[in-house]
Structure 1
Amino acid sequence: MLPHPLGLFLLVAGAAVLCVSVTTPLHSFRGCAVREFSFVAQKPGCKGLHITTEACWGRCHTWERPIPEPPYIHRHHRVCTYSRIRHMTARLPGCQPNVSALYHYPMALHCHCAACSTQDTECETF
């Protein structure tokens, strides 16, 4: 069976080894790269804070192969994920006295196509 691309994955992560040229149409880009990403950091007891960081972004090839015994299919799913990160910390505003204002998040230094690890990534399938 030929490899087929997975859907788009966006994972909070930092600096690029592979850059996507401004002239490259994003809908046709294949591979894994670092891209700017913004989100609102939130936790109970604090106000939200808008953070701009770097994230892994892209499409990776994957494949499935039928096998004669259960589970009848062998899956090899790869996603665009961190290969190196920098740990970042932000201070959330308006926190209640008993709540720590510190918010920790990763910033990618390099991204690659690899098996999804639930230790640092939300592994979702479409």
Structure 2
Amino acid sequence: MMINTACLIPILMLYAVTSSHAVSPCKLRVHLARAEQTDENGLRCWDTVKVPACGGRCDSREISDWEFPFKKSHHPVCVYGGRLPLVVRLRHCDYGVAPGTDLFHFVAAEDCRCKVCSSQYTSCEWLPPNSTLLDGIYDDVEGLGNF
């Protein structure tokens, strides 16, 4: 049986175009998370809280260069543009829990941006925590301009 490859090319091209846009752009999203806090006696308060967080696609690019490593790369990730301290009251508590255990403090995203990963505030899989590896490489990523 012979397969007509001319029929497959449009399908593959359609898949490539649609799959690249399948992930939505970097933006603020609200996620539900379980929050739990324990007092000094082991009694606890808990609830499901809404957490504003960042997620989505950031466009990256590379161009060739005559100097080592023979390319200029720009691979941003979706990170918090600003942080906002929030406090929520946990609605479910064990009887006799210490006062104040029901107040849960956390940091939420105020807005989101595509930036080069910094391990100071973000878990970068390829950088150790609080790494200074990228210090001085790019003072201002936005200043790189379009390639």
Number of residue pairs matched by the alignment: 98
SS at structure 2 position matched to 1:61: coil
Deviation at 1:74, TM superposition (A): 8.2
Q: Point out which structure has higher relative CO (alpha carbons under 8 A, 6+ apart).
A: 1
* Larger of the two Rg values belongs to structure: 2
Deviation at 1:42, TM superposition (A): 2.2
Who is 1:39 aligned against? 33
SS at structure 2 position matched to 1:48: strand
Going by fraction, where is helix more abundant, 1 or 2? 2
Q: Which runs of 5+ in 1 are unaligned?
A: 1-24
Query: Could you tell me whether the CA contact under 8 Å between 2:45 and 2:102 is conserved in 1?
Result: no
Going by fraction, where is strand more abundant, 1 or 2? 1
Q: 1:124 to 1:99 in 2, by over 3 A?
A: farther
In 2: Cα distance, 1:90 partner to 1:100 partner: 11
- Aligned match for 1:50, one of 48, 51, 66: 48
RMSD: 3.7
Deviation at 1:121, TM superposition (A): 3.1
In 1: Cα distance, 2:86 partner to 2:118 partner: 20
Deviation at 1:104, TM superposition (A): 1.7
Q: Deviations over 1:62-116 (max 9, x none)?
A: 46789758xxx98754211111232111233426438844322233332111123
Q: Does 1:104 align with 2:105?
A: yes
Query: Could you tell me whether the CA contact under 8 Å between 2:37 and 2:101 is conserved in 1?
Result: no
TM-score (norm 2): 0.47
Query: Could you tell me whether the CA contact under 8 Å between 1:90 and 1:102 is conserved in 2?
Result: yes
Name the amino acid aligned to 1:105: F
Aligned identity (percent) is 30
Q: Which runs of 5+ in 2 are unaligned?
A: 1-18, 127-147
Who is 1:123 aligned against? 124
